[in-house]
Amino acid sequence: MEQEHTPKKSTNSSNSTQQNKKSFLKKVFFVIPDVRLPRIRLRIPNWRTPGVNLTLPAVKGQKSLNLSIPSIKGLRIVGGVWKVGTFGLAVGLVVMTIAIMSAVRGLQAAPIWPEPALYTASYVQPDRAVKVGQDWDQFMTDTTPAETRQLQTMTLQLNLSGARAGDITLSGLDIGKASGLTDALQIVGSSGNGNELICDEVILDGLEAKTLNLGSSEIYVLNITNNIADGLSIGPTMSATPKDIVVQSIRGTVSVPAVTNSTYDRIIIDTSTADGFCRKLTISNVSAYGAGINLDNIQAGTLTIQNSIIGDGTGINAASFIVANTTKIQQLNATNNVEQPVSVQ
């Protein structure tokens, strides 16, 4: 009995067909070979920053500032890079130190009333007190003469233009300068624009100065009593123009803290750009040398000058105490005033 054999031709034919397909695909398509990447090991370096203690110098007698940067342990980078890093860190610290020192040196606290400075009452909100002023240095340039700079920096000036204040008191003050001063105490407005200091009452009591001049003002009642002067000239103009100024309510006014027991080169109350108002201005026990007292552009219900010594040593025939004819008044009370040789130094 014959056995049937499966022809091997078909199997060989199938294998041949597959090989032909692979060959065909290789020709048509680009085949990327297998790629094996090597292992990569990353090692993070140890990072340590050296501790730094930075001490700033004392500023104007104040306590030294201590600035400490928390330490982070050594900067260690594998290899020689640490030298470059450390150098860069040192340069950065030097630059930072210089910047901080420059900033600290440039800092200057704003003056606080009544330190010598310029204070503008119109900048203050109603029912608040005059407190922060403007330092005179900001108004000066590199060409400002040293004498002017020295004089200005010791001046206390209150600008009342456009403001309404309550009571203002200057008491127990030593003012003046040996030379370079025209007025040690000055109240000034603007006659041309009619800007004045308008107060219910002005009292000058116990003053000592080389000269005292009152002019370009309107006073309803003028009292001059118990004064000694090296020459006295009282010649106001009687007029119906002055009004009895009444300022009693202090609601909504700016508060001006009293100035007492202090020294200045000069004191100025200025209303040159607009009228300024106050209820009562009291200037008492003020001693001035090297210059006098000049009062202009005042409107007051009552102005009193009493218990004062005024004299520049020129003799009684050259008046040191003058009420000029540019001062208009409704009523004058002048009693117990004595002329005698006086020289206030």
Residues 87 and 195 in one domain: no
In a domain, 155, yes or no: yes
Q: What confidence category does residue 329 fall into, taking pLDDT thresholds of 50, 70 and 90? A: very high
**End of a domain among 85, 106, 127?**
106
Residue written as tokens 């040398």?
Answer: 289
Residue 274 lies in a domain: yes
pLDDT score at 94: 75
Count of structural domains, the chain: 2
Q: How confident is the model at residue 59 (pLDDT cuts 50, 70, 90)?
A: very low
Question: Is 128 in the same domain as 276?
Answer: yes
| pLDDT at residue 112, as a whole number | 97
Do residues 244 and 131 touch, judged by C-beta distance below 8 A? no
Q: Are residues 241 and 298 in the same domain?
A: yes
Query: Domain check: are 101 and 122 in the same one?
Result: no
In this structure, is residue 1 part of a structural domain?
Answer: no
> What pLDDT was estimated at residue 228?
98
Name the residue with higher pLDDT: 296 or 145. 296
Average pLDDT over residues 331-341: 98
Task: Answer yes or no: is 16 within a domain.
Answer: no
- pLDDT at position 129: 97
Range of the domain at 250: 117-339
Domain co-membership, 191 together with 239: yes
12 pLDDT more than 60: no
Q: Residues 212-228: what's their mean pLDDT?
A: 98
Closest CA to 304 of 327, 282, 337, 274: 282
Report, as an integer, the average pLDDT of 103-123. 83
**Domain for residue 44, yes or no?**
no
Cβ 256 vs Cβ 157: under 8 Å: no
Whether residue 18 is contained in a domain is answered as: no
Cβ burial 259-292 (10 Å sphere, 16+ → b, else e): beebebbbbbbbbbebbbbbbbbbbbbbbbbbbb
Comparing 282 with 89, the larger pLDDT belongs to 282
The answer to whether residue 5 scores a pLDDT higher than 60 is: no
Is the Cβ–Cβ distance between 189 and 297 less than 8 Å? yes
Q: Are residues 68 and 133 in the same domain?
A: no
**259, 165 contact by CB (below 8 A):** no
Q: Compute CA distances 30 → 17, 19, 22, 23, 27, whole Å.
A: 21, 17, 12, 12, 8
CA angle 277, 283, 284 (to 5 degrees): 160
pLDDT bin (cut points 50, 70, 90) of residue 96 is: confident
Q: Which of 88-102, 148-162, 249-263 has the highest mean pLDDT?
A: 249-263
Distance CA 321, CA 331 (A): 19
How far is Cα 26 from Cα 246, in angstroms, rounded to an integer? Answer: 114
DSSP per residue, 248-273: ---TTPBB---EES-EESEEEEE-SS
Question: Are 327 and 295 in contact, with CB atoms under 8 Å apart?
Answer: no
Is residue 38 situated within a structural domain?
A: no
81 touches 99 (CB < 8 A): no
Does residue 305 share a domain with residue 205?
yes
More confident residue, 231 or 92: 231
Q: Is the pLDDT of residue 65 over 50?
A: no
Q: Which of 172, 168, 149, 150 is nearest to 158 (CA)?
A: 168
- pLDDT, one tens digit per residue, over 120-163 is 999 999 999 999 999 988 888 778 787 777 767 799 999 999 99
Same domain, 153 and 76: no
The C-alpha atoms of residue 213 and residue 210 are separated, in whole angstroms, by: 10
Q: Looking at residues 66-83, what average pLDDT do you find?
A: 49
Q: What is the mean pLDDT of the chain?
A: 82
**Per the domain annotation, does 27 fall within a domain?**
no
Question: What pLDDT sits at residue 138?
Answer: 85
Do 283 and 249 fall within a single domain? yes
Question: How buried is 42 (Cβ within 10 angstroms: 0-12 exposed, 13-18 middle, 19+ buried)?
Answer: exposed
Residue 228 shares a structural domain with residue 314: yes
| 68 lies in the same domain as 190 | no
Residue 63: the pLDDT is: 47
Asked which of 75, 106, 137 is the last residue of a domain, the reply is 106
Claim to verify: residue 128 and residue 233 sit in the same structural domain: yes
Contact 223, 304 (CB under 8 A): yes
- State what percent of residues in the chain have pLDDT above 70: 71
Per-residue pLDDT, 103 = 53
pTM check: above 0.75: no
pLDDT band at residue 71, thresholds of 50, 70 and 90?
Answer: very low
The answer to whether the CB of 321 falls within 8 A of the CB of 310 is yes
Domain termination residue (choose one: 106, 140, 169): 106
Identify the top-confidence range among 19-23, 67-71, 145-149, 242-246: 242-246
| Distance in angstroms (rounded) separating the CA atoms of residues 242 and 222 | 11
DSSP per residue, 273-336: SS-EEEEEEEEEEEEEESSEEEEESEEEEEEEEES-EE-BSS-TTS-SEEE-TT-EEEEEEEES
